[in-house]
A and B are shown apart, each in its own frame.
Chain A
C-alpha cells in the first residue's frame, strides 16, 4: 500500500516493520516525529526520556537484553549521548541497535550545524544515509540486520530535508520480530574495565576491516551509469540534488557511507575521470578519497556552510567547467527591504513578562534552548547567551563568580532544566554561587510540539502528552504516591540540590515578578525562581477574556509594544489589541502608564 510519509515517519514504520521492540528519544527538531509516529504502533514500546544520553542508555540496555532497539535524536543530542556511544562501540549489541541522528544543515531550528557523520568515524561504527522516505524505511531494516551481524550500533543519519519531506512510500511489509535473544552474562563483552576493553578495542579494529570489505559489496553503494565529461559522488539529500542538477551524469550513490567502498570509488573515478563529490557541510567523503589518493573535487567549489539546492550544485560545477549554467533563470528583481517576519512568543505566553522584567532590571542573562530563546530578539532583547541544552545554569554560576554581585541571571525551561540543568544546579549550590536561576516551568517541551516532561506528566509514554497536569499549588505538598501526579517535583528537587531560597511566582503578576527578582539578586546565596503558568497552547492553559485599549486614554507612548506581543499592534500611532489573538494575560495593562488598557467582559471563545 502506498502511503505519504515524512522521513521521520518512515523511520518509525521501518522500526515497527523490522521488529524494534523498544524505542527511546528526547524531542528535538527535526527528529521529534520519529518517536511521535512510533506511538501509533502499540507493539513497540516507545517513550520520551529526559535526555538523549538516558534514551541511548535505555536503548543499549534493551539491546543487550536481547531486543531490537532504536534511539532517535537531533544532531546536537548525539553530543549528549556521545559518552555512551563511544563505548557502546566496544561492547557491541545484543539485539540490533540503530542510533538515528537528524542533522540540521542550514540551522532551521538549531544552534549549530555540526556534521554527525564524523561520529560514525569517531566511534568506528557503520553509517547509513537514506536519500528519501522509502529508503528511510528500508535502511532501518538493513541497519538492524548489520548491527547484529557485525555486533555494533549503527548510525542512521538523516538531515532536515529527509526528516521533513513527505514522499510516496510502499508500506506492504508486515511486522517481523526476530526470535528473542535472552541476555547472556558476558562481562568480558559488556563490562568495559581496562583489561576487557583492550580486548574489545582490537575487535573493533577487526570489525572496521570487515565493514570496509562489506561496504564494497552492499547494494546500498552503487554506481549509476550516465554520460558526459564528469561524474558525481553523493549521499543523503545531496544525491537527490545532484540527480536533479545533472540527471544524465554518472553518479556513485553512497547509502553505506562509512566506511567508504574505496576500491569501487577508485574504479568509478578512474573510469569517469573528472569527479565531483557533492556533500553538505564537511568534506567527510572528499577528504577520505583524497587521503586514499583518489583525485576528486568538492569543497574547492562548494560551500562548507548551509544547505545546498540543485541550482547551487549546477552553478558551481558549470562555473568550474568554464560554462554558463544553461538553466539559470532571469530572477524577478528582489523587493527592497521588506519587514522581516521573525518567529515570536505567542500571545499570552508565560515567558513574556519575565523577559520584560529582566530587560528593565538590566541584568546579564545566560539563556538556554527553547521557545524562550526568542526573548533574545528585539524588542525584548533580554538574553545574552544561548549555547546548548542546560548550559545557562553553569554559565550563570561562572559569570557570577567573576562579576559584580547581583548582576547575573540564568534562564532555562522546565524540560531543558531536567535534560541538562540539574547537575549544574547542584554545583551552583555546592560552590555557593550567588547566581539566580529562573526555571520557566510551562509544563512541556513547547518548541518541539508540547511533549510532556518528568515534572508535568506521569509518563513519557504514548499518552504522556495528553496527561499533562498543571503545576501544583506551591504551598501544598501533594502525596508522592498520588497516581496521576508526575514523579518530579521541581521545588523539592531544587531544595534537595542545596538551594534554600526557592520561590514559585506567577509570571502574569509583574509586580510580584519584579519583587521576587530584586530580592533574589540582592541575596548572596543561590536562589531559584520557578514560574507556574503552562504553555498557552496546552489544554490545561486558562482561557481569559481579552484586554482592550481605550484610545481616549492612550497617549501613544507605545511602551506596551515592548512586550513583543503579536496581539498588540500600532494603529494611528496608538496601541490596539487584536481581540481574536489576545489571551488576556494582562501584562500590557500592568505596564501601561496611563491606565488605558482594561480587560473586556467578553467571555473567551473555546478553541
Chain B
C-alpha cells in the first residue's frame, strides 16, 4: 500500500471484510458497489454484494452490502458487524451507523439531501448529524463531496471519487481498481473515471 493513509482495514485474507455503502436513490451507490466487487475479484477474492431494488429507487434510502473474503456465505451484514460504512449522504450515515462495528471506520460525504418529510416542512434535518456520528464512534472521515465534484468537474463521478477514498482502506492493488473501472464503465467514460478515482485516492478528509 502506498496510498495517503495506508490504513488498511483488513490486511489478512483470513477474515471476511464487511463493507456497507449507503446513500440516496440515484447517487450511484450500486455503481460504487460494483467497482468494489470487480476490484475484489481482480484481487482473487470471493465476494458477495446484495442490494434492494424496486421501491428504494425512487429517491429512497439505499443500502448495499459488500462482503469480501476467501469464502463468503451470507450476502448480508448484521448490525454491528461492518468494518466500514461509506455514506454518500450524511443523514444516511447516521441512519446506518448501527451497522458499524466497534472500532470500524465511517467514511461520509458531508452533503445533505433533504428527505421528503424535511423538504415539505414536516420535520427538521438534524443540524448536528456528523457530531452525532462522532459521538458514537471514534473513527470518522468526512469528505466534501462538493469540493471533490468541483475537482472532477461533475457530481456524477463522485461515487468513483469515493472508490478512490475507499481504495486506501482495502487490501487491493491499485491495478485491480483500475481494471475494475475499465470493466464497469463504457469506454468513453473510463478516462474521466480513472481521474476521479485518482482524485479520491489522494483526497484529504475535512478537519
Contact = CB atoms under 8 A, between A and B. Distances in A.
A506 to B, nearest CB: 23
Contacts of B50: 161, 164-166
A125 to B, nearest CB: 28
A160 interface: yes
A2 interface: yes
Interface stretch (A341-349, A396-404, A496-504): A341-349
Contact of B117 (A4, A307, A334, A340): A340
Interface string B123-145: 11110000010001100000000
A345 B97 CA distance: 27
Contacts of B79: 311, 329, 331
Contact-residue bracket for chain A: 35 or more
Contact of A329 (B53, B58, B102, B122): B102
Contacts of B48: 132, 165-167
Contacts of B47: 4, 166-168
B55 A340 contact: no
A425 B174 CA distance: 60
A335 B97 contact: yes
B101 interface: yes
A116 interface: no
B45 to A, nearest CB: 9
Most buried by A among B52, B61, B78, B136: B78
B80 A564 contact: no
B115 interface: yes
A149 interface: no
Interface of A, secondary structure class, is loop
Interface stretch (B69-77, B185-193, B196-204): B69-77
B116 interface: yes
B78 A309 contact: yes
B175 interface: no
Given A165-B48, A342-B116, A109 B53 contact: yes
Residue among A168, A379, A558, A573 with the highest chain B CB neighbour number at 10 A: A168
Given A164-B52, A240-B74, A310-B78, A558 B98 contact: no
A329 B126 contact: no
Interface stretch (B1-9, B88-96, B146-154, B160-168): B88-96
Residue of A165, A166, A330 contacting most chain B CB atoms (<10 Å)? A166
Given A168-B46, A311-B79, A561-B119, A569 B114 contact: yes
B146 to A, nearest CB: 13
B138 to A, nearest CB: 11
Contacts of B92: 341
B10 interface: no
A570 interface: yes
A343 B120 contact: no
Contacts of A29: 53-54
A561 B114 CA distance: 13
B104 to A, nearest CB: 9
Interface residues of B, number: 55
A4 B37 contact: yes
Given A164-B50, A166-B37, A561-B119, A311 B78 contact: yes
B126 to A, nearest CB: 7
B95 A338 contact: yes
Interface in A550-607: 558, 561-562, 564, 566, 568-570, 573
Contact of A343 (B25, B95, B100, B122): B25
A63 to B, nearest CB: 29
B124 A339 contact: yes
A204 interface: no
A593 B104 CA distance: 51
Contact of B115 (A332, A333, A342): A342
Interface string A150-162: 0000000000110
A4 B38 CA distance: 8
Contact of B80 (A30, A330, A340, A448): A330
A108 interface: yes
A329 B79 CA distance: 8
Given A244-B74, A341-B92, 12 more contacts: A30-B54, A164-B50, A164-B51, A168-B47, A240-B74, A241-B73, A328-B80, A339-B126, A342-B115, A379-B120, A447-B55, A570-B120
Interface of A: 2, 4, 29-30, 108-109, 132, 160-161, 164-168, 237, 240-241, 243-244, 247, 307, 309-311, 328-335, 338-346, 371, 374, 378-379, 447-448, 558, 561-562, 564, 566, 568-570, 573
21 contacts: A4-B41, A30-B53, A30-B54, A161-B75, A164-B51, A164-B52, A240-B73, A241-B76, A243-B74, A309-B78, A311-B78, A331-B80, A332-B97, A332-B136, A335-B126, A338-B91, A343-B56, A344-B59, A562-B120, A569-B114, A570-B120
